[in-house]
Structure 1
Amino acid sequence: MFVLNGFFIAGTIICALAVLLGLIATVIRRYPDDWALVATAGTELFLIVYAVAAGIRQVGGEMVLGEPWEFWGYLLTALIMPPIAFFWAVSDKSRWANTVLAVSGAITFVMLFRMEQIWHVGVIA
């Protein structure tokens, strides 16, 4: 059984929005539009809040049930993805830069899913 919490649900919605806007922008635009860029920035903002909350949860006594180094490794890698995609899109100015933004949102979701698995490893069946 996978534990659904508010962070996972919010992250899923934010990542899905980033993917959707990136794909729509790929289809109808030749260059990255503001909506796709803002969605990617929103993904990064969510990850920063998630990182702070994870730190507070650990300091408060709620421990990662899996390997902490693996959780924090995924989180640091996830934090790097949206800025790389954002700066790629700003500098590339082609239709395919929007695809990079969409893929970044999808990868961020997969990493968020994995981080939640690592955090709650004891309750996943």
Structure 2
Amino acid sequence: MIVDGFFIAGAILCAVALILGVVATIIRDYPDDFALISVALLEVFLVFYGVSAAIRQSGGHPIAGEPWEFWGYLLTALLIPVLAFIWAVTDKSRWSNTVLAVSGVIVFVMLFRMEQIWDGAIAA
């Protein structure tokens, strides 16, 4: 698998969301602003990633794997931070921070798989 800047940036944002969510779960009884902001930034990154992927694909850099699979992963990944954010804003419990942390892990796994699909690597 070829690791590009998008994957590295996404991995860093996912790690930040995970760490802030776990720390907020330990420290607070309600959703932490920093954890909410980290998940919101993760969503902004995914939108930017999707736009840049569309530009790359239309510019002649094809997806080596199945395009429907890549775009399906991206659309699903776009939903995860939004749903976690809504959960955290409406629930107001300690476990909302855990949901925010888990959303970072889920998006990381999906980003990893999207990179494999884009590069044509075989999933293990």
**Shorter-chain TM-score tier:** over 0.9
Indicate conservation of the 8 Å contact 1:3/1:123, yes or no. no
Task: Give the Cα separation in 2 of the matches to 1:30 and 1:73.
Answer: 35
Structure 1, unaligned runs of 5 or more: none
Aligned counterpart, 1:121: 120
* Cross-structure match for 1:11: 10
Task: Tell me how far 1:122 sits from its aligned partner.
Answer: 5.2
Which residue number in structure 1 is paired with residue 57 of structure 2? 58
- Structure 1 position 43, deviation (Å): 0.5
Local SS of the residue matching 1:17 = helix
Offset of 1:47 from its aligned partner?
0.1
Equivalent residue, structure 1, for 2:34:
35
Q: 1:99 to 1:122 in 2, by over 3 A?
A: closer
Instruction: Give TM-score, length-normalised by structure 1.
Output: 0.96
Letter in 2 for 1:67: E
State how far apart, in whole Å, the 1-side matches of 2:70 and 2:94 are.
34
Deviations 1:90-118 (A, max 9, x none): 00000000000000010000000000000
**Cα distance in 1 for residues equivalent to 2:123 and 2:31:** 39
Aligned CA RMSD, in angstroms, stands at 1.4
Aligned to 1:80: 79
Please give the alpha-carbon distance, in whole angstroms, between the structure 2 residues aligned to 1:40 and 1:111: 15
Alpha-carbon contact 1:3-1:124 (below 8 Å) kept: no
Which residue number corresponds to residue 25 of structure 1?
Answer: 24
Q: For 1:46-75, what per-residue CA distance to the aligned partner results, in whole angstroms no more than 9, with x for missing partners?
A: 000000000000110000000000000000
1:124 deviates by 8.5
More deviation in 35-44 or 113-122?
113-122
TM-score when normalising by structure 2: 0.97
